[in-house]
Structure 1
Amino acid sequence: MEIQHLGGLIAAPFTPMHKDGSLNLSVIPYYYRLLKTNQNTGAFICGSTGEGVSLTLAEKKEMISAWTDCTKHDNDFKVMALIGGTCLSDCIDLAKFSKQAGIYAISFTAPFYFKPSTVQVLAECCKTIADEVPGMPFYYYHIPVLNGVGFPMIDLLQAIDGDIPNFAGIKYTHEDFMDFLSCLHFKNGKYDMLWGRDENMLAALATGATGAVGSTFNYAAPLYHSLIEAFNKNDLKTAQSLQQQSIDMIRLLGKYGGIATGKAYMKLIGLDCGGFRLPVKNMSRQSFELFKKDVEQLNFTSFCSRMPAAATAQ
């Protein structure tokens, strides 16, 4: 299988929820238009940002169907879904469903309860799933901060190379630039390496990244487009300043409780995605007011994502 290398910004969408915590699928077509309006080239659904680990298997299928229904005529917009990591049988079920639905690619992360003891075992897990959907791009999602599995990814590439024909690459959400560079250079750049740390994008660009998956691309895509443009023009001073804006924005996630703060940013740009499910703690009304004041100090409206013209979210 010829491996396509994706480029640009691939957003990791939030899963829209109603007030009662159920899926709000009616928002998805509008969400897609929002990402397209802000020049995102794809969506990585049901990942960490999308609360994939908090969704049932049936709900993940609903999300996959909703995204494929509104993007199936757009060959330039790639949708991939995280199919899970703990129960391989469920992962296989979801992989087959994803292929039938017409999604572009699937992604798998390491089992995080009974963890693989060696990188060879992790490679075997990948092969068990990937072999069930031949010809469909299969990505490994490397995020040791959440799944606790920190094997060097260069070791994984060496373990799977030639054994998993549809292994397309890695979504790399870690800070090991030595390992990332080695993966980029493996077999003359054979595999697609998608960067996953928004706050380190400038360093990743310097290392050689050309595609990235990120949560902040949902609500601040213009900031990163400007950063990439400045880097490509060798205007490092401007690129560094824009990366600092990104860092200042992301620091507010830590200040206000973590990942759920992303949905607060979405609400500020005009798309209410509801709250996060337990055990993630949502922001209180009082904290949201303080958050808005902090966001104003960032001059957020100068670089935030713009809503689609002549459209309203449901």
Structure 2
Amino acid sequence: MSKFDVQEMKGVIPALMTVFAEDETIDESGMRELVDHLINKGVNGLYLTGSTGEGFLMSMEERKKVVEIVIDEADNRVPIMVHVGTIGTKNSIKLAEHAYEKGADAVSSVPPFYWNFDEEHIYNYYKDIAEATPLPMIVYNIKLAGTIAYDSIKKLAAIENVKGIKYTATSHFEIASIKDELGEDFLVYSGADEMASSGLFNGADGLIGSFYNLMPELFMDIYEAVNNNDLKTARIKQQNAVRIIKYSVQYDFYSLMRLALGWLGVNAGYSRRPFKNYGAEKEAEFKAEFKKLKDKYKIEGIDFLDAI
């Protein structure tokens, strides 16, 4: 059973990468190592089997296995939110039921995609999953899977177990409006790493994103700076985050992050095809370019840069 109340699920929450071995099987020891590394760094929760976790590249059973490994390794140290999104409601319910049985604290899902699902389809999808377990449901607004209209967000919020939204967008005035209209108890998570400070300034309760696997300390500094109204520090830290992200997304950045975590002694494994994995020559190039960024902008306090 879950151990954390949904209102405790705030702060910096990495969208956890799934650690694969070179043969693309799940690397359990690497998975445990990454979980332990992030929790020891002070993150406020973990978001499993989403896009960053390559959830759509895994079978149902593999996704369940990852949930079981992470919940066991986390051992109630931080809240666990499980992404259960699939195109079909039936499979999403099965994943939600499994997450509940294994002790997750919340579930989340992208809207159903590929077919041109309308507002009613999306509403029923979330309603059916939310009613399948007692766990709080965090809906997900992301352009890749399908942007949920603002009025639809308000309708979804009326479903009893829908307790918040992961809002991945590069405009954030809607976050302030959601908090105004739906109240402080309706949680909003900013999902664009390069816009973390903006999301927080507009009222987001927490941050869920990919690069928190690699440099959680930077985003924890941003979170603290915004909460302390230290706008100068938040701006400088966010600018450094953007510089690193802008360089990284030229490549298969999940694979780049895996290499960079290795510089910290963390086994983050491999990505699944069709994502690329990079060899020693490319890794040396990454190190050189990150060192240039660090020196040019005098970036301090980011562990993976300091490890180069």
Same fold (TM over 0.5): yes
Residues 10 and 42 in structure 1, CA contact (< 8 A), matched pair in contact too: yes
CA contact (8 A) 1:46 1:52 kept: yes
Which residue of structure 1 aligns with residue 140 of structure 2? 141
* Structure 1: runs of 5+ lacking an equivalent: 307-314
Cα offsets for 1:96-144 (capped at 9, x unmatched): 11111111111111122113122x32111101111111x2111112211
Q: Which amino acid aligns with 1:209?
A: A
CA RMSD of aligned residues (A): 2.0
Choose from 112, 126, 147 the match for 1:150: 147
The residue correspondences of 1:1-314 to structure 2 (distance < 5 A) are: 4=7, 6-74=9-77, 77-118=78-119, 120-133=120-133, 135-144=134-143, 146-147=144-145, 149-152=146-149, 154-162=150-158, 164-299=159-294, 302-304=301-303
Letter in 1 for 2:25: S
TM-score of the pair, normalised by structure 2? 0.89
SS in 2 for 1:302: coil
Give the total of aligned pairs. 297
Contact 2:110 2:140 in 1 (8 A): yes
How has the CA–CA distance of structure 1 residues 27 and 274 changed in structure 2, closer, same or farther, with 3 Å as cutoff?
closer
Compare 283-292 and 91-100 and name the one that shifted more: 283-292
CA–CA distance in structure 2, aligned partners of residues 101 and 264 of structure 1:
31
Deviation at 1:301, TM superposition (A): 7.2
- Supply the AA of the counterpart residue of 2:264: I
For the 8 Å contact 2:71–2:80, the answer to whether it is kept is yes
**Counterpart residue type for residue 274 of structure 1:** G
Tell me which moved more, 88-97 or 3-12: 3-12
Partners of 2:154 and 2:182 within 8 A in 1: no
Deviations 1:56-77 (A, max 9, x none): 0000010011111122443xx1
Matched letter for residue 201 of structure 1: A
User: 1:12–1:218: 8 Å Cα contact kept in structure 2?
Assistant: yes
**What is the alpha-carbon distance in structure 1 between the residues aligned to residue 116 and residue 8 of structure 2?**
29
TM-score, scaled to structure 1:
0.88
CA distance in 1, matches of 2:218, 2:105: 27
User: How far did residue 305 of structure 1 move?
Assistant: 6.5
What is the one-letter code of the residue matched to 1:70? Answer: E
After superposing the two structures, state which structure 1 stretch, 248-257 or 103-112, moved more: 248-257
Return the letter of the residue paired with 2:125.
C
The question of whether the paired residues in 1 share the 8 Å contact of 2:31 and 2:268 is answered with no
Displacement of 1:3 after TM fit? Answer: 5.3
Counterpart CA distance in 2 for 1:115 and 1:130 is 22
Q: Give SS of 1:116's match.
A: coil
Q: Aligned residues: percent identity?
A: 26
Quick check: 1:11–1:215 contact (8 Å CA) kept in 2?
yes
Secondary structure of 2:207's counterpart equals strand
Q: Distance in 2 between matches of 1:190 and 1:232?
A: 18
- In the TM superposition, residue 226 of structure 1 has moved relative to its aligned partner by 2.0
Q: 172-181 or 254-263, which moves further after superposition?
A: 254-263
